A and B are shown apart, each in its own frame.
Chain A
Amino acid sequence: MARTSETREPLIHLSKRSSIHPLKAWMIRLAAVALGLALCGLVAFLLIERLRANPGRIGEFYYTFIKGSFSTSRKIWKYLKNLSILLCIALALTPAFRMRFWNIGGEGQTLVGVLGCIAVAFYLGGKIPEWLLLILMLLAALVCGAAWGLIPALFKARWNTNETLFTLMMNYVATYLVAFFLEVWVTNGSGTLPKQKFGKLPTVGGQAYLLIILIVLALTVCLYIYLNYTKHGYEISVVGESVRTAQYVGINDKKVVIRTMLLSGALCGLAGYLIGAGLDQSITTESAGGQGFTAIMVSWLGKFNPAAMVLTAGLIQLLNQGAAQISQDFDVSGALPNVIVGIILFFIIGCEFFINYEVHFRGAKQKAGKEAVK
């Protein structure tokens, strides 16, 4: 009986953590970012010729991330503007996500928002007062976005269709709808709609982007309150956690799904309005620029908490602009900047695993066991 138990047990053993100290969780996240950055440096060193020729520029490489967003005041404003648009779409998706309604149609809902507001500007611009035009454009954007959110919600409520596939496909419908209208509106064959003369959001405080930033800031606060302190927000959480619980206490889950998707779609429409009336004054099939998908990540990383999403949107925007700066400064093109962003995001998302689970190694445990025996 003196034999010790044979160690044929698995090498790695995972167990779910029951709780984790917030400080420890943040340490894990920081370590993940540091590791991600280190790996980025290595990849960059191997793939960027200029860097390999002159390894001393590696410090410059890391500085580029900050430089991309903060080196000049113009860049800072641009950073804040891009952050705001991204955050706006992420905020729009969040009520649906809290309800476990996987709305990945933010791209399409935003795009039809742009389409709605540009259509109003195209047909009514100059014919009615500018203030009225802006209001009508806003309404059109909200209604279009809401409609794009409503359709999958109705199908979900009526026939229990899969919302992920449905909202995804609606994105393509939106893209081709825009292509169709461009055919109708642009008669010279160039395929690009010139900037509209009317229907531009006014400049506040002498800064072109300040109004957009303020609108999204206000939206963040409102949505935080809506989700955490109102009856609607509570109903969303209950339906998201368990439809059966909702039915048990008399919440009409279908009504909540439809109402919330109307809101989610309308807020995407608002983001479309900010793009259409606040920035572009025009529309292409790429007006949403993939931000509808990036926003999904912003919302997830922020754990569907609007306040935390300000940070995650900030981080992702920082990486995006840093990547653009790298391709400029180091004269690399193609997918490399995206690879670098991807590596860092991989580490950030992957580290959540280590926050939720604890990893035990066979060797480590044996040691602990022996100590216990002593």
Chain B
Amino acid sequence: MEKQLALQLRGITKRFGNVLANSHVDLDVYRGEILAILGENGCGKTTLMNMIAGIYFPDEGQIFVDGREVVIRSPKDAFDHKIGMIHQHFKLVDLFTAAENIVLGTREEGRYSLKDVNARVTGIAHKYGFHIDPQKKIYDMSVSEKQTVEIIKVLYRGADILILDEPTAVLTPQEITRLFDVLRRMRADGKSIIIITHKLHEVLEVSDRVAILRRGEHIATVNTAETNESQLTELMVGKKVSLNIDRTLPDHPTPRLDVTHLDLHSAEGLHVLRDISFTANGGEILGIAGIAGSGQRELLEAIAGLQPQITGDIIFHNPKKDKPVTFFHKSMKRVKELGAQGMFHDKNMKPVSFDGMSAGAIKKWVESGDVLFKEDELIDLKAKTPLEIRQLGVRLSFVPEDRLGMGLVGSMGITDNMMLRSYRKGRAGFLDRKKPKELAEEIIHDLEVSTPGVNSPVRRLSGGNVQKVLVGREIAFTPKVLMAAYPVRGLDINSSYTIYNLLNKQKESGVAVIFVGEDLDVLLELCDRILVINSGAVTGIVDARTATKEEIGLMMTKTDRARKEDA
């Protein structure tokens, strides 16, 4: 049977200022197919779809629905042509039920009856195999349930062409499988489904055809059955890329950070971290997996000293064994205290005692470099501010999730951003921009940051370059512990692999790396061990070399009750 055209794009072009977001894109979508739109971040996937959904208006080009040219100026126009889009960020009213959200904004003849709506919603859900309670409030729903509401909302309005913008980004492996089943059922029903993604294996799993965009241009459309990951990557990036992460075996991992019984209630009274205990080793990458918002951010912030309300202990092992004591991060008082506790010995392993010595004599002895630590120094980071942590000589680096809102200052140049960590050093009240500028130039050169100059605001840089600046700065301070939250989110493939390699290099030089990630494939490939966090509690720590995605997915979603039943 000849396939029927549902949607045609011809010569679609869209500019934002001087940026060409889409350039003369031609695209065909058939009835009863799943078309994947594949491309790196910033290649114009979402812009193109927004033009079909009526969010943007194309500068040039035509759109045909069922062979007739249409003008789509608003989402309402799009619905009139039976086109519906499920956005990445859900647009739902929290206080309303699923059914109320679904019916919101529709103009139906006759009396409004929530009972009818509920029945229709249940009908749609039943037809395609969704699980939904139409009377449940949005604030009680998980991310996956909210997504279901969004999809039904579009179906309720009678859409035949559905556009899903990165629908799998927030789902667990099990939820993704379920979503794909639903999509296949819709396809069988004759709907056209366009799914935007940058995850290759999902493209191969669910789609019939793949359209690849690169820099706003439609590069090619291939049949999924006739392609493979490396061909798709090549089309996406424009050149051959090796997708291997070079994971070495950890070299003598030693405990570097001991977290025990960490517990935290948020300001709103929510129990965000529940009795978390784990050890991060030097020379190892510890992955943290979990559904978004399971406490990953709070955990890293607690370690970095940004959550002062925590209970439990965070012990940092400062690798000082047999290294000389200095006054660099310690006062005379503290040195005397540690001496009295018998923490030091000299070169001949004889215990050091400062008894009866004057401060001057102690100072002289310590500065001669002959007073050594007996063991690694243990420092409790609990209830310390970020500044106090630094002043204790704990070299803890943190690449936060919110790069421009937390890690960097968007309006400042690279030089001034380098200074964030080090501006306190040097001449009394004045800033010294010389060293930060050198560091900025070094990072621009080493990490190939593309920027107009060291003083141009980092906000203007692309996502990948912003992240290179941030990671570059955090690594420049030769950390002992490096924490990175979603460090490749929004980055293109090349930048992502640059970041993976940087983390790997840190691991090889003995740093304890903690990596919070969302892509389980990457976590399994990059990390040595993976800690799974679920509603603020640790549900397991697995060996990344032997664990499977399904195993981790289960740990990510297991409910409290299921957990108790297991025990």
Smallest CB separation, A240 vs chain B (Å): 9
User: In whole angstroms, what is the CA distance A13 to B61 when docked?
Assistant: 18
Smallest CB separation, B400 vs chain A (Å): 7
Smallest CB separation, B535 vs chain A (Å): 24
| Among B177-185, B285-293, B356-364, B415-423, the stretch in contact with A | B415-423
The answer to whether A241 touches B412, judged by C-beta atoms less than 8 angstroms apart, is: yes
User: In whole angstroms, what is the CA distance A234 to B431 when docked?
Assistant: 8
> For the complex, is A248 an interface residue (Cβ under 8 Å from B)?
yes
User: In whole angstroms, what is the CA distance A160 to B409 when docked?
Assistant: 22
Contact with B along A245-262 (1 / 0, CB 8 A): 101111110000000000
**Which B residues touch A241, using CB under 8 A?**
409-412
User: In whole angstroms, what is the CA distance A287 to B60 when docked?
Assistant: 61
The answer to whether A244 touches B406, judged by C-beta atoms less than 8 angstroms apart, is: yes
A8 in contact with B73 given A234-B416, A241-B410, A247-B386 (CB within 8 Å) = yes
**Which A residues touch B410, using CB under 8 A?**
241-242
Within 8 A of B (CB), among A258-285: none
The answer to whether B61 touches A237, judged by C-beta atoms less than 8 angstroms apart, is: no
Within 8 A of A (CB), among B394-451: 398, 400, 402, 404-412, 416, 419-421, 423-424, 429-431
The answer to whether B304 touches A230, judged by C-beta atoms less than 8 angstroms apart, is: no
> For the complex, is B91 an interface residue (Cβ under 8 Å from A)?
no
* Centre residue among A10, A16, A237, A238 by max chain B CB count within 10 A: A238
The answer to whether B17 touches A16, judged by C-beta atoms less than 8 angstroms apart, is: yes
User: In whole angstroms, what is the CA distance A116 to B406 when docked?
Assistant: 42
The answer to whether B62 touches A231, judged by C-beta atoms less than 8 angstroms apart, is: no
**Which A residues touch B122, using CB under 8 A?**
none
> For the complex, is A56 an interface residue (Cβ under 8 Å from B)?
no
Contact with B along A218-252 (1 / 0, CB 8 A): 00000000000111111001100110110111111
* Centre residue among A233, A234, A251, A369 by max chain B CB count within 10 A: A234
> For the complex, is B240 an interface residue (Cβ under 8 Å from A)?
no
> For the complex, is B115 an interface residue (Cβ under 8 Å from A)?
no
**Which B residues touch A250, using CB under 8 A?**
305, 385-390
User: In whole angstroms, what is the CA distance A248 to B60 when docked?
Assistant: 46
Smallest CB separation, A231 vs chain B (Å): 6
The answer to whether A18 touches B386, judged by C-beta atoms less than 8 angstroms apart, is: no
Smallest CB separation, A43 vs chain B (Å): 36
**In the complex, which residue of chain B has the Cβ closest to the Cβ of A357?**
B17
User: In whole angstroms, what is the CA distance A371 to B408 when docked?
Assistant: 43
The answer to whether B429 touches A231, judged by C-beta atoms less than 8 angstroms apart, is: yes
> For the complex, is A1 an interface residue (Cβ under 8 Å from B)?
yes
**Which B residues touch A232, using CB under 8 A?**
429
**Which listed residue, B62, B406, B430, touches A230 by the CB 8 Å rule?**
B430
**Which B residues touch A5, using CB under 8 A?**
58, 60-62, 71
User: In whole angstroms, what is the CA distance A248 to B412 when docked?
Assistant: 16
The answer to whether B412 touches A237, judged by C-beta atoms less than 8 angstroms apart, is: yes
A245 in contact with B71 given A5-B62, A234-B431, A358-B17 (CB within 8 Å) = no
Smallest CB separation, B256 vs chain A (Å): 21
Contact with B along A335-374 (1 / 0, CB 8 A): 0000000000000000000000010000001000100000
Contact with B along A19-51 (1 / 0, CB 8 A): 000000000000000000000000000000000
Smallest CB separation, A355 vs chain B (Å): 14
A229 in contact with B409 given A16-B17, A18-B18 (CB within 8 Å) = no
> For the complex, is B328 an interface residue (Cβ under 8 Å from A)?
no
* Centre residue among A233, A248, A369 by max chain B CB count within 10 A: A248
> For the complex, is B112 an interface residue (Cβ under 8 Å from A)?
no
The answer to whether B71 touches A229, judged by C-beta atoms less than 8 angstroms apart, is: no
**In the complex, which residue of chain A has the Cβ closest to the Cβ of B398?**
A248
User: In whole angstroms, what is the CA distance A231 to B424 when docked?
Assistant: 7
Contact with B along A174-218 (1 / 0, CB 8 A): 000000000000000000000000000000000000000000000
> For the complex, is B59 an interface residue (Cβ under 8 Å from A)?
yes
Smallest CB separation, A354 vs chain B (Å): 14
> For the complex, is B130 an interface residue (Cβ under 8 Å from A)?
no
Tally B residues with Cβ within 8 Å of A. Answer: 45
> For the complex, is A57 an interface residue (Cβ under 8 Å from B)?
no
A231 in contact with B412 given A18-B17, A242-B406, A248-B400 (CB within 8 Å) = no
Smallest CB separation, A266 vs chain B (Å): 17
A15 in contact with B406 given A8-B71, A249-B386 (CB within 8 Å) = no
User: In whole angstroms, what is the CA distance A231 to B431 when docked?
Assistant: 6
> For the complex, is B126 an interface residue (Cβ under 8 Å from A)?
no
User: In whole angstroms, what is the CA distance A52 to B424 when docked?
Assistant: 65
Tally A residues with Cβ within 8 Å of B. Answer: 32
**In the complex, which residue of chain B has the Cβ closest to the Cβ of A250?**
B387
> For the complex, is B330 an interface residue (Cβ under 8 Å from A)?
no
Smallest CB separation, B246 vs chain A (Å): 31
**Which listed residue, B16, B387, B419, B460, touches A15 by the CB 8 Å rule?**
B16
**In the complex, which residue of chain A has the Cβ closest to the Cβ of B429?**
A230
**Which A residues touch B234, using CB under 8 A?**
none
> For the complex, is A75 an interface residue (Cβ under 8 Å from B)?
no
The answer to whether B17 touches A15, judged by C-beta atoms less than 8 angstroms apart, is: yes
The answer to whether A238 touches B407, judged by C-beta atoms less than 8 angstroms apart, is: no
> For the complex, is A6 an interface residue (Cβ under 8 Å from B)?
yes
**Which A residues touch B334, using CB under 8 A?**
none
Smallest CB separation, A337 vs chain B (Å): 38
User: In whole angstroms, what is the CA distance A239 to B96 when docked?
Assistant: 37
**In the complex, which residue of chain B has the Cβ closest to the Cβ of A15?**
B17
> For the complex, is B57 an interface residue (Cβ under 8 Å from A)?
yes
The answer to whether B57 touches A245, judged by C-beta atoms less than 8 angstroms apart, is: no
Smallest CB separation, B125 vs chain A (Å): 37
User: In whole angstroms, what is the CA distance A234 to B405 when docked?
Assistant: 17
> For the complex, is B10 an interface residue (Cβ under 8 Å from A)?
yes
User: In whole angstroms, what is the CA distance A16 to B389 when docked?
Assistant: 42
User: In whole angstroms, what is the CA distance A248 to B297 when docked?
Assistant: 13
The answer to whether B460 touches A245, judged by C-beta atoms less than 8 angstroms apart, is: no
**Which B residues touch A331, using CB under 8 A?**
none
**Which A residues touch B411, using CB under 8 A?**
237, 241
> For the complex, is A127 an interface residue (Cβ under 8 Å from B)?
no
The answer to whether B409 touches A230, judged by C-beta atoms less than 8 angstroms apart, is: no
User: In whole angstroms, what is the CA distance A244 to B408 when docked?
Assistant: 10
> For the complex, is B306 an interface residue (Cβ under 8 Å from A)?
yes
Contact with B along A313-339 (1 / 0, CB 8 A): 000000000000000000000000000
The answer to whether B409 touches A238, judged by C-beta atoms less than 8 angstroms apart, is: yes
> For the complex, is B94 an interface residue (Cβ under 8 Å from A)?
no
> For the complex, is B69 an interface residue (Cβ under 8 Å from A)?
yes
**In the complex, which residue of chain B has the Cβ closest to the Cβ of A233?**
B431
Smallest CB separation, B422 vs chain A (Å): 10
User: In whole angstroms, what is the CA distance A248 to B389 when docked?
Assistant: 12
Smallest CB separation, B339 vs chain A (Å): 29
**Which A residues touch B57, using CB under 8 A?**
9-10
* Centre residue among A10, A231, A232 by max chain B CB count within 10 A: A231
The answer to whether B306 touches A248, judged by C-beta atoms less than 8 angstroms apart, is: yes
**Which A residues touch B61, using CB under 8 A?**
5
The answer to whether B17 touches A244, judged by C-beta atoms less than 8 angstroms apart, is: no
User: In whole angstroms, what is the CA distance A3 to B11 when docked?
Assistant: 13
**Which A residues touch B71, using CB under 8 A?**
5-6, 8
**In the complex, which residue of chain B has the Cβ closest to the Cβ of A7?**
B71
**Which B residues touch A8, using CB under 8 A?**
71, 73
User: In whole angstroms, what is the CA distance A5 to B59 when docked?
Assistant: 10
**In the complex, which residue of chain B has the Cβ closest to the Cβ of A365?**
B59
**Which A residues touch B431, using CB under 8 A?**
229-231, 233-234
**Which A residues touch B419, using CB under 8 A?**
234
* Extra A-B contacts (18), CB below 8 Å, given A241-B411, A244-B405: A5-B58, A5-B60, A8-B73, A15-B16, A18-B460, A231-B431, A232-B429, A234-B431, A241-B412, A247-B306, A248-B306, A248-B386, A248-B398, A248-B407, A249-B386, A250-B305, A252-B385, A369-B60
The 20 listed contacts between A and B (C-beta, < 8 Å) are A18-B18, A230-B429, A231-B423, A231-B430, A238-B409, A238-B420, A242-B406, A242-B409, A242-B410, A244-B402, A244-B405, A245-B405, A245-B406, A245-B407, A245-B409, A249-B420, A250-B385, A250-B390, A251-B387, A369-B59
